[in-house]
Amino acid sequence: MTALLARDLRLAFRAGGGFGLALAFFLIVVVLVPFSVGPESSLLAAIAPGVLWLGALLACLLSLDRLLALDFEDGTLDLLVGAPIPLEGALSVKALAHWLTTGLPLVLAAPVLGVLLNLPLAGFGWLTASLLAGTPALSVIGTFGAALTVGIKRGGLLLSLLVLPLYVPTLIFGAETARRGAMGMEATTPLAMLTGITLATVALMPFASAAVLRMGLR
Amino acid sequence: MELRVDNLTIARGGVPVLAGVHFVLPAGRALVLRGPNGAGKTTLLRTLAGLQPALSGQISGAGERIAYAAHADGLKAMLSVTENLQFWAEIFGTRETDAALDAYALRPLAERMAGTLSAGQKRRLGLARLLVTGRPVWVLDEPTVSLDTAAVAQFAAALQTHLAAGGSAVIATHIDLGFKAATLDIASFRAASTLLAGASDEAFL
């Protein structure tokens, strides 16, 4: 398991590994927002939590199609099925590696980009907390989508269509936490809901992912 | 422990390709599968490796004892030869990669990125992976593709060492491995077209 995590992290940082692509995409989307809606600071402050959450979600989505497709093409998945580690565990580890290389950098970058969008001071803590609690769910659900579309040529768009509806609950509670926090309201309830969704997906999704992957490899 | 296959029916894309396959492979022996293209060699090997379910019949002595190698070697282009081997060694709970590097003369290439290797060198690395799995039953699909004569000799030597140590192997190949091994012509197990009913994968859904 640790070998698989170490290998995935090492590959992500090597040339062509795609580390930083999602982060750069997030950066560009957020920087483009003031250009499209105008520079009024009160308007930007109002939409900042939603924009940051949507940007993080889309950046995460962007990196999903390489999550399992590369391992499928070079035969690694076939060999992992026969390996002595359970496929559910292997997919959990791959989701963790995806979160460490995609989700965690987004969490760390979001407060910096919050400054660009004039996010109220009270919102920074809640924004970071909501992203920290919510992005693991994005990786785990994304792994399920990647397992579902493995073996389909050019499956990237199909993957997005399948995964985006599953992201809705995480987006609702994540953006709500950040919005309430920014407005100085009580935000622990949506944060608790968000954490609950993440914990449930982390616990259950790997079983669904492994089941559909076994079918996809046939 | 022997690998035993009884009355096995297997399908590809929902269409049965082989029916009534049976053989017994004792430890220390190799079995060479022969048959024309499309006869079902790869499907049979993937079924043995547990990558797809059989329609009917029993396989015993497989599961966690199988090491499977097919056309795709499971190598990462941006990892070195040693890193690739070490990864699979750790996944399979062995740590020893020296013997595998020596068996296929990979030591001069040890620090090269796998992506820069030639097709034959990649194949040698893919076959070396079998040695680090520590599994007793090798299931090999066309293992000698793109190998030169020297590398085929290395493969035959590694295989004979494996058999002498009590391992066994099922190999789909068309070339002569240079030693005597039992042969199974799977064309004689071709499935009758009447078996179609209930064979579709969709029945599962």
Is there a contact between A137 and A171 (Cβ–Cβ < 8 Å)? Answer: no
B4 class by beta-carbon count within 10 Å (0-12 exposed, 13-18 middle, 19+ buried) = middle
Token pair 């997919």 is found at A91
Query: For A71-125, what is each residue's pLDDT tens digit?
Result: 998 889 999 988 889 999 999 999 999 999 999 999 999 999 999 999 999 899 9
| Contacts with B62 from chain A: Cβ below 8 Å | none
Inter-chain touch A74–B201, beta carbons under 8 Å = no
pLDDT for res A188: 93
Does residue B137 have a pLDDT over 80? yes
Considering only alpha carbons, which residue of chain A is nearest residue B11? A218
Candidates A4, A7, A14, A71: best to mutate against B (most CBs of B within 10 A) is: A7
The domain ranges of chain A are 2-217
Query: For B82-128, what is each residue's pLDDT tens digit?
Result: 999 999 999 998 888 888 899 999 999 989 999 999 999 999 999 99
Candidates A79, A87, A215: best to mutate against B (most CBs of B within 10 A) is: A79
- Looking at chain A, the whole-number percentage of residues with pLDDT higher than 70 is 100
Q: Return the number of other C-beta atoms located less than 10 Å from residue B71's C-beta.
A: 13
Query: For A187-207, what is each residue's pLDDT tens digit?
Result: 999 999 999 999 999 999 999
Chain A residue set in contact with B, beta carbons under 8 Å: 2-4, 7, 10-11, 14-17, 73-76, 78-85, 215, 217-218
Element of type H or E holding B16: strand B15-25
Average pLDDT of the residues in B38-64: 89
Closest C-alpha among B35, B40, B5 to residue B137: B5
User: Which domains are seen in chain B, by residue range?
Assistant: 3-203 (3.40.50.300)
Closest C-alpha among A86, A147, A207 to residue B50: A86
Written as six digits, the tokens of A189 are 């309830």
Query: A-contacting residues of B 42-81, CB under 8 Å?
Result: 49-53, 64, 66-68, 70-79
Element of type H or E holding B64: none
Inter-chain touch B67–A82, beta carbons under 8 Å = yes
Written as six digits, the tokens of A4 are 């698989």
Is there a contact between A150 and A213 (Cβ–Cβ < 8 Å)? Answer: yes
Average pLDDT of the residues in B10-35: 89
Query: For A142-179, what is each residue's pLDDT tens digit?
Result: 999 999 999 888 888 899 999 999 999 999 999 999 99
Distances in whole angstroms, Cα of residue A163 to Cα of each of A97, A136, A142, A170, B45: 19, 14, 6, 12, 34
Does residue A34 have a pLDDT over 50? yes
B193 class by beta-carbon count within 10 Å (0-12 exposed, 13-18 middle, 19+ buried) = exposed
Inter-chain touch A82–B87, beta carbons under 8 Å = no
Where does the pLDDT of residue B204 fall: very low under 50, low under 70, confident under 90, or very high at 90 and above? very low
Q: Any chain A CB within 8 A of the CB of B22?
A: no
Strands B168-172 and B30-34 come out as parallel
| Winning range, highest mean pLDDT, from A4-13, A190-199, B85-94, B176-185 | A190-199
